[in-house]
């Protein structure tokens, strides 16, 4: 460890210690404010100028060399034109060879060195939060505030969480110990050392909707445990994670390390390299976020995998004190980023008997009308609607939403285009609401990615729970929402859904939403149902990336 890297550890030791403590206590913690006003006054203006000069140019911030071509195909969902940024394209052999070479030095560093360097990268990334926000907007369709928070502070939180979890596991045991066993007339003394040995090169496969938030947990878990990493972003959403990798490479190089410890592996839709990388024997572990179909392929690989696939998230609506705040909460949760979040609700199970409130029973039909009215009130609000919905990332999602009315059931609310005053050409689709009977499983018993909401009419809350649990067991889910004022019902729902390895969010209103998972406190996925085999960030998410080896000396 050089003096400079030692200084980095000392510089960030308090942050690391606080993060480890928060991780253990599951309390609120962040060193990265989520309010843009907490940063430099001119940061937003500078970022707007940056994105305008970056578009239609080559991305030359990386320290990788040996590219064979330049390519880019990102399209802004807000502008409906190409972003125009081209990225260096590298052969699989080049990426693998670079990663192998860099692995030799990086794996020999200790946990303190790696932690200091990696937290320093997060500090540098935080200085680019506004650049990242506009890059995220114009590749994913997330509205400005979500782009800033999710790809900036919240992503940094998850990255720091992975560093803290990794550091905790790497320092769990002493480096050296004298082992003594008494045999009566003499002692047997053996000196032992224990060291964590990195497993090797990791591959992180990104998604198009959350190119940073879903990428950095696996990236930083791989790095803190002494492994090098190749990041293969979705070809439609490269710019945000390219900025992150640029800053990581800068810090590595400044501290005398090989910048290829982290590499960007951009490709094209026409010539993808994901499977070539994933199947290469040098790759020892793969992190993946995306469709169940490709996720199942990743899980079938004869190597360590960490997946987040598709799931069908549901809500059970039983009884409430006041129905209106609940309907508003459901409307926002279903509309946020146009339902393109992996935690967005899709199915709302409601008993045919209606919903009991403090002011009496509300009929099933009135609950259905209330959900549709709450969504309409939100999306028609010129101030709240566009900022909540954002834009649709993929043409396929836009088409699926517009054709959802043909799926069957009773169309309660169709999608429509609303006006975004700032971006007249934004690709926007408001949520579709479809009412179905519980027997129409062919309609609601699968993921319909995007702003599509199914209200499922059931016989009772027990029936709703049985249907919801069966759906999780078959298709998987990241989360479940439930509204009930009955303690026995609450306990029943929690027990049954937890048996299916799904966490339950109870009675959220106001500023609490089912969509949000907080770093250092909420586990994202459980790894126990078909929605994915990993959970970040639990101990297993980092400890599997290295092995403990103990040597003995007499």
Q: 483 has which bridge partners?
A: 317
**Are 238 and 364 in a shared domain?**
no
Distance CA 205, CA 290 (A): 9
Tokens encoding 289:
């976020």
Could you tell me whether strands 187-198 and 176-182 are parallel, antiparallel, or unpaired per DSSP bridges? antiparallel
Residue of 519, 524, 521, 522 lying closest to 534 (CA atoms):
524
Residue 404 lies in a domain: yes
**Are 270 and 183 in a shared domain?**
yes
Residue 517 lies in a domain: no
Burial of 123 (0-12, 13-18, 19+ CB in 10 A): middle
**Are 187 and 127 in a shared domain?**
yes
Residue 79 lies in a domain: yes
Residue 330 lies in a domain: yes
Q: Which residues contact 253 (CB under 8 A, 6 or more apart)?
A: 63, 259
pLDDT mean for each 10 residues of the chain (554 residues): 74 98 96 97 97 97 97 98 98 98 96 98 98 98 98 98 98 96 95 97 98 98 98 98 98 98 98 98 98 97 97 97 97 97 97 97 98 98 96 97 96 95 96 98 95 98 98 96 98 98 97 94 96 96 98 96
pLDDT of residue 335: 97
pTM for the full model?
0.96
Domain end residue (candidates: 309, 332, 357): 309
Q: What is the CATH number of the domain that holds 38?
A: 3.40.605.10
**Are 119 and 39 in a shared domain?**
yes
Residue of 126, 81, 109, 321 lying closest to 228 (CA atoms):
109
Residue of 537, 547, 430 lying closest to 19 (CA atoms):
537
- Cβ neighbours around 231 below 10 Å, total: 27
Tokens encoding 315:
């809500």
Interior/surface letters 506-518, b for 16+ CB within 10 angstroms, e for the rest: ebbbeeebbbbbb
Distance CA 119, CA 116 (A): 5
**Are 271 and 350 in a shared domain?**
no
Residue 245 lies in a domain: yes
Cα–Cα distances in angstroms (integers) from residue 205 to residues 50, 282, 448, 496, in the given order: 27, 16, 22, 33
Residue 388 lies in a domain: yes
Could you tell me whether strands 283-289 and 262-264 are parallel, antiparallel, or unpaired per DSSP bridges? unpaired
**Are 297 and 323 in a shared domain?**
no
**Are 169 and 280 in a shared domain?**
yes
Q: What is the CATH number of the domain that holds 395?
A: 3.40.309.10
Burial of 384 (0-12, 13-18, 19+ CB in 10 A): middle
**Are 473 and 333 in a shared domain?**
yes
Distance CA 220, CA 163 (A): 6
Number of domains in the chain: 2
**Are 224 and 97 in a shared domain?**
yes
Q: Are 207 and 95 in contact (CB under 8 A)?
A: no
**Are 251 and 358 in a shared domain?**
no
Cα–Cα distances in angstroms (integers) from residue 216 to residues 36, 231, 316, 351, in the given order: 21, 10, 32, 41
pLDDT of residue 6: 65
**Are 344 and 222 in a shared domain?**
no
Q: 305 has which bridge partners?
A: 286
Q: 411 has which bridge partners?
A: 434
Residue 514 lies in a domain: no
Residue 177 lies in a domain: yes
Distance CA 224, CA 162 (A): 8
3-state helix, strand, coil in the chain (%, to 5): 45, 20, 40
Handedness of CA 477, 478, 484, 485 (dihedral sign): positive
Distance CA 225, CA 390 (A): 37
**Are 171 and 25 in a shared domain?**
yes
Q: What angle do CA 307, 526, 207 make, to 5 degrees?
A: 30
The domain in which residue 351 lies consists of 314-506
pLDDT of residue 1: 46
């Amino acid at each position: 460890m050089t003096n400079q890297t030692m200084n980095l550890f000392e510089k960030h030791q308090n942050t690391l210690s606080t993060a480890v403590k928060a991780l253990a206590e599951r309390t609120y913690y962040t060193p990265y404010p989520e309010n843009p006003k907490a940063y430099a006054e001119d940061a937003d203006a500078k970022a707007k100028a940056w994105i305008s000069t970056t578009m239609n140019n080559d991305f030359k911030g990386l320290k990788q060399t040996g590219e064979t071509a330049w390519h880019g195909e990102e399209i802004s969902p807000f502008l409906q034109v190409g972003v125009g940024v081209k990225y260096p394209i590298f052969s699989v052999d080049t990426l693998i060879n670079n990663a192998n070479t860099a692995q030799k030095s990086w794996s020999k560093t200790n946990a303190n060195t790696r932690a200091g360097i990696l937290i320093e990268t997060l500090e540098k990334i935080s200085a680019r939060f506004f650049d990242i926000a506009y890059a995220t907007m114009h590749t994913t369709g997330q509205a400005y505030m979500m782009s800033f928070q999710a790809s900036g502070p919240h992503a940094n939180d998850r990255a720091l969480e992975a560093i803290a979890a990794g550091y905790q596991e790497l320092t769990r045991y002493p480096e050296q110990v004298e082992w003594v066993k008494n045999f009566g007339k003499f002692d047997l003394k053996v000196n032992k050392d224990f060291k964590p040995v990195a497993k090797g090169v990791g591959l992180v496969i990104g998604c198009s909707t959350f190119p940073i938030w879903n990428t950095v947990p696996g990236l930083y878990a791989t790095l803190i445990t002494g492994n090098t990493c190749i990041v293969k972003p979705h070809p439609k959403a490269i710019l945000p994670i390219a900025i992150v990798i640029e800053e990581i490479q800068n810090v590595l190089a400044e501290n005398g390390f090989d910048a290829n410890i982290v590499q960007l592996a951009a490709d094209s839709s026409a010539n993808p390299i994901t499977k070539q990388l994933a199947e290469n024997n040098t790759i020892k572990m793969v992190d993946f976020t995306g469709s169940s179909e490709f996720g199942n392929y990743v899980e079938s690989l004869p190597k360590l995998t960490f997946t987040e696939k598709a799931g069908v998230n549901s809500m059970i609506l039983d009884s409430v004190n006041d129905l209106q705040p609940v309907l508003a909460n459901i409307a926002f949760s279903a509309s946020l980023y146009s339902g393109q979040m992996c935690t967005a609700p899709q199915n709302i199970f409601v008993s045919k008997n209606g919903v009991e409130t403090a002011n009496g029973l509300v009929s099933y039909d009135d609950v259905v009308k209330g959900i549709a009215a709450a969504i309409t009130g939100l999306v028609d609000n010129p101030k709240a609607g566009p900022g909540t919905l954002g834009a649709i990332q993929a043409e396929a999602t836009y088409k699926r939403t517009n054709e959802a009315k043909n799926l069957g059931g009773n169309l309660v609310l169709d999608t429509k285009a609303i006006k975004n005053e700032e971006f007249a050409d934004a690709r926007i689709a408001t949520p579709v609401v479809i009412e179905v009977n519980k027997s129409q499983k062919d309609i609601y018993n699968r993921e319909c990615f995007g702003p599509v909401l199914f209200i499922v009419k059931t016989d009772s809350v027990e029936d709703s729970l049985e249907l919801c649990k069966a759906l999780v067991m078959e298709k998987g889910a990241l989360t479940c929402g439930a509204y009930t004022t009955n303690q026995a019902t609450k306990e029943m729902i929690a027990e049954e859904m937890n048996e299916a390895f799904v966490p339950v969010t109870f009675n959220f209103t106001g500023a609490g939403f089912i969509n949000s998972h907080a770093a250092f406190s909420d586990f994202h996925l459980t790894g126990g149902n078909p929605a994915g085999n990993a959970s970040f960030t639990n101990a297993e998410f980092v400890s599997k990336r290295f092995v403990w080896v103990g040597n003995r000396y007499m």
